[in-house]
Amino acid sequence: MECDKGSGKFESKNHSECPENISHVCRLQSGFELLDAGVFNDSKMLEIEKGAKELSIPIIRANRKLIASVNGGLHNPSHLVFNPEWSHEKTQLTSKTFNYPSVSGVQRPKSEEDIAFMSILELGHLIKTKQITSEELVGIFLKRLKRYNPVLESVVTFTEELAYKQAKEADQLLAKGVYLGPLHGIPYGLKDIIADIIAVPKYKTTWGSKSFKDQVLEIEAWVYKRLKYAGAVLVAKLVTGSLAYDDIWFGGRTRNPWNIEEYSTGSSAGPAACTSAGMVPFAIGSETAGSITYPAARCGVTALRPTFGTVGRTGVLSLSDSLDKLGPFCRSAADCTIVLDAIRGKDPDDISSRDINLLDPFSVDITKLTVGYIDDAEMEVVHVLQSKGVNMIPFKLNYTVESAQGILNFTMDVDMLAHFDEWQRSGLDDEYEAQDQWPLELRRARVIPAVDYIQAQRARGKLIQEVRASFKVDAFVGNATDWERVCIGNLVGMPVIVVPTGFKKILDPPSNDTRRRTTITTGIYAPPEHDHIALALAMAFQSVTDHHKQRPPIDDLGPNDSVPNPRAKGHTSFDIEA
């Protein structure tokens, strides 16, 4: 449909439409042109109008009522961050402050499978005592990555040449008597996208999207530099959902190793699936709104969403400058602590990153802590911590802001659109892998007024103050994937560690003897800049339980239990040969 405003003539591509509809579309065109957003066709404009009426306007009105009913701006300031510092001096890498527990008497297992599921400290001990080389470990994990990737669809790029080069350097340093610490020679994987995408020179950084699947960024991400400095060895770039949205990417959809008919969820899909399946000892993912917590919970791994600003994001694709966070996916809370120690600290090119003075999680006296548990907490965690001397009390996080989910959506979507303005204007969003995801949300974001974006940030500030006032405990235990709590946690910037707590039967099992399972997890939340408390409590729980040590049945699904065949989507069929 076209509207010639100069002549007053209307040209409709559908001549059956009534004049009222033609006039309505022309008014929409005029409004979009006022926003310099005349790039949308008629159907997209009507779609945006529908979304604005049903979703955006209720959020706008709720925020106005909450914080914009009094003039003068004397209360509820915006929590947008501005840093006027001009200095670009490079920050020196800080020395580690955590005292890692000693490991002794660990012997190299005969089975590569057993090696693949060892902890970072155990693998580090094998390397330090020269029972295994980093090159051998790289070979073991690359073999597993190539073996299981056809069915899990969790790897974008194998960085094999780089991995062997870094492993050889690690082995040579050790031969000279130089040991860099527990990550020396340890293989790992990096998420290949957004608020989470890690850029490594000479290898593609695809952001999971067909629009960028051939992209090579000549930049080293800060987190990659930190891990390289610690001696870790990059073996693969792992799947992120397209532009960091869910688990669908240009090569397929990443599966959950515990139930391969199920998908991994969340944009850190590859890090979660690969860590769960023993394809890497650890991986780095990211979260803007649930991209660490959801896939970690689905795939049954331990993962930390740290305090906002703990880990620098230079070289990492951004969804939202005030929400994006990087964090580790690991076998255990102890492993998460080790990785966090390596990657935390001030990034000189990320103005939101900080040197946060975390205490040593390995030295926290948990008997001096008061920890709350809310009504959806896994009670095994409560009882175990109580048995270890923690003061456990019922708890509820109180706040009056009703639009937390809307505030997060406004913040994330508008920020994301600012980073992908040209992508939308040029029509590349039409190529996106799932049209009901980013394309739909970012079109709605185009018509959110600037004033109402700022009002959302003011409402966010009020929420932060209310949560701070309500947080009367040292930490609390509760569901890690409750959507309201995910929104609150990310808006406030608080850390949470996802902890596996058991398993239950899957719904509609393919056979009675299937070994597939649904994982059960919980979250341990701490106030911002108190990640050490959440880590210490998770380590205490895992010290007397073994849920985090269980292995998914990817090689042993059970008799009469079929394996999905990706061949129908153009992939190689699943081959369980070593």
- Of residues 457 and 214, the one with the higher pLDDT is 457
Query: Which residue type does 315 have?
Result: G
pLDDT of residue 162: 93
267 is catalytic: yes
470 is catalytic: no
Distance between CA atoms of residues 214 and 227, nearest Å? 25
Per residue in 178-192, pLDDT (tens digit) is 999 999 999 999 998
- Of residues 214 and 13, the one with the higher pLDDT is 214
Helices (H) and strands (E) in the chain, counts: 18, 19
191 is catalytic: yes
Place of tokens 């975390």: 358
Catalytic residue among 154, 291, 320, 403: 291
Catalytic residue among 191, 237, 325, 462: 191
pLDDT of residue 6: 37
Distance between CA atoms of residues 338 and 340, nearest Å? 6
Work out the mean pLDDT of the chain and round it to a whole number: 88
196 pLDDT higher than 50: no
Percent of the chain beyond pLDDT 70?
88
Distance between CA atoms of residues 198 and 128, nearest Å? 28
193 pLDDT higher than 60: no
* DSSP per position, 236-285: EEEP--GGGSTTEETTEEPEETTEEEEE--SS-HHHHHHHHTTSSS-EEE
Place of tokens 């579309």: 25
Note the Cα 91 to chain centre separation in Å: 26
User: What tokens were used for 429?
Assistant: 């969003």
Distance between CA atoms of residues 221 and 230, nearest Å? 14
- Is residue 82 within 8 A of residue 457, CB to CB? The reply is no
91 pLDDT higher than 60: no
Per-residue pLDDT averaged across 469-495, rounded? 97
Distance between CA atoms of residues 200 and 159, nearest Å? 10
**Whole-model pTM?**
0.88
Catalytic residue among 154, 267, 318, 322: 267
Relative to beta strand 283-287, strand 187-194 is parallel
Which conformational region is residue 94 in: left (phi greater than 0), alpha (psi within -120 to 50 degrees), or beta? beta
- Is residue 477 within 8 A of residue 540, CB to CB? The reply is no
Per-residue pLDDT averaged across 112-118, rounded? 97
Per-residue pLDDT averaged across 48-60, rounded? 87
- Is residue 186 within 8 A of residue 236, CB to CB? The reply is no
Which residues make beta-bridge pairs with 233? 187
